[in-house]
Amino acid sequence: MYLEHFTLSELPFSITPDTGFYFSNPSHQQAMNVLQVALRSGEGFIKITGEVGTGKTLLCRQLLNQLSNDEQYVTAYLPNPNLSPSDLNLALAEELGVQCDKDDSQHNVLKLINERLIELAAEGKQVVLLIDEAQAMPEASLEALRLLTNLETEKSKLLQIVLFGQPELDVILERPSIRQLKQRIIFSYALEPMGKEGIQAYLAHRLLTAGYAGIPLFNNSVVEELFLASRGIPRLVNILAHKSLMVAYGQGARKISPQHVQAAIADTEDASVEDKVTRRWINGFVGVVASLLVAIGVYIYMGTIS
């Protein structure tokens, strides 16, 4: 592809959540701060929401890596939580190393989970369950999660749960039938898109991580195009930057131009061009009107002096 052309060791703008490329933009850093404070508090649910493509899964995996490298924590991770309550409990048991049979009663599964959590607490371990795409969970399974947080000692919860989900999760939590779960969410944070300056730093970070050491590939006008079209959503920035590099490579160019980005935008369905098109249409319209006014003024002036 374009790796050799731009002297890269790997693709810098893959949409696969790779923690090696993790970039701590202000919103993600604030979310991570909230997560760390919440986990130190040792109780309740934690909720992180964000629109599609804002980096929830990458943040989840980054947190998972950090906790896995800390001997204080034992982690469980469910990337696909569209599970029935019984399957949810079995999945948690498996993550915690509990030997269960699919034919075991739920009472027995919960008993074994509780025993394992008590054992880990006695060792000074803090157990954290991370659930990605939490908006996909059936309501009955959300209620099963709430019941899991009832497992506690006299002084602390035996299990903390971090929910990562799209804004639809907030809508689900408004249902009266699961209001008890909502009341147990002690900390929450909503991820925000990146600003233009954030995108510029993000592009530079990912290129550097991928081995690039040349002159800046994306100048201010190009970043402006990417910002408008991506709406600051990291996944869209990745897609558009990747396609822009492909177009530039095809033309033998060493830097990305606005035309390269515009070609990428035209090939990307979710890229938003309305603001840019509207802006150019208005600028063009104002220019035409100004020209007409000048022409009318000249006509009147010529008529006056004649």
Domains of the chain: 26-190 (3.40.50.300), 196-272 (1.10.8)
Dihedral pair phi/psi, residue 38, rounded to 5°: -65, -40
Count CB atoms within 10 A of the CB of residue 38: 22
Residue 299: predicted pLDDT: 38
Residue 150: predicted pLDDT: 86
What's the farthest any 2 CA atoms get from each other in the chain? 104
Residue 193: predicted pLDDT: 96
Distance separating alpha carbons of residues 188 and 46, to the nearest angstrom: 6
Q: Is the pLDDT of residue 286 over 50?
A: no
What confidence tens digit (pLDDT) does each residue in 188-244 have?
A: 999 999 999 999 999 999 999 999 999 999 999 999 999 999 999 999 999 999 999
Q: Is the pTM of this model over 0.75?
A: yes
What confidence tens digit (pLDDT) does each residue in 23-33 have?
A: 999 999 999 99
Transcribe 212-227 into DSSP letters. --SS-SB-HHHHHHHH
Transcribe 75-100 into DSSP letters. EEEES-----HHHHHHHHHHHTT---
39 by Cβ neighbours in 10 Å (0-12 / 13-18 / 19+) ranks as buried
Shortest CA distance to 240 belongs to which of 248, 229, 231?
229
Residue 92: predicted pLDDT: 96
What confidence tens digit (pLDDT) does each residue in 255-277 have?
A: 999 999 999 999 999 897 654 44
Q: Is the pLDDT of residue 300 over 70?
A: no
Distance separating alpha carbons of residues 3 and 246, to the nearest angstrom: 10
Distance separating alpha carbons of residues 164 and 191, to the nearest angstrom: 10
Residue type, 209: T
What confidence tens digit (pLDDT) does each residue in 155-177 have?
A: 788 999 999 999 999 999 999 99
Which DSSP category does 231 fall into? T
Q: Report the sign of the C-alpha dihedral through residues 233, 235, 236, 237, in that order.
A: positive
Q: How many CA atoms lie within 13 A of 100 on its CB side?
A: 28
Distances (CA, A) of 296 to 74, 91, 179, 282, 290: 77, 77, 67, 21, 10
